[in-house]
Amino acid sequence: MAELEDLLRNLVNDLPSLPEDGIGPPSQESLERKPIRDGESPVMLQKIITEIYVFTSTNGDNLWYGAQSFQDVQLLGQMRLSEALKIIESRKTKKAK
């Protein structure tokens, strides 16, 4: 087991460092965020909900963990930007309470 740990440690140590500036996703996966023009601009509003569950064993000698995630995409429809922002703001205030 110690040999495997040494092998993995050497492998991880030789990997390039991850950026610490939080630059986000690769360019092909990122969406350009443009400034809001006016409340009349037509938009399609979508809601994406991601749930991640992580479970860890509590059995003393037999330690392990697992994870499972789910993603739900809800299409809320086409509307004016001002209407979309009202929906988003109302959800934010409900969650804050």
Report if residue 21 sits inside a domain. no
pLDDT of residue 92: 75
Whether residue 73 lies inside any domain: the answer is yes
**Does the residue 72 lie in any domain?**
yes
Evaluate whether residue 8 is within a structural domain: no
49: nearest Cα among 19, 29, 69, 24: 69
For residue 58, give its domain range: 46-97
Looking at the domain assignment, is residue 84 inside a domain? Answer: yes
Non-local CB neighbours of 71 within 8 Å, separated by 6+ positions: 48, 49, 50, 51
**pLDDT greater than 80 at residue 33:** no
What total number of domains does the chain contain? 1
Amino acid 37: pLDDT: 72
Q: Is residue 4 part of a domain?
A: no
Report the percentage of the chain scoring pLDDT > 70: 74
Q: Which secondary structure element, helix H or strand E, spans residue 50, and what is its range? A: strand 42-56
Task: Evaluate whether residue 31 is within a structural domain.
Answer: no
pLDDT band at 74 (very low <50, low <70, confident <90, very high): very high
Q: What is the structure's pLDDT at 41?
A: 86
| Segment 29-55 mean pLDDT | 83
Cα 25 from chain centroid? Answer: 10
Q: Is residue 26 part of a domain?
A: no
Over 90: is that where the pLDDT of 80 sits? yes
Tens-digit pLDDT profile for residues 49-66? 999 999 888 887 888 889
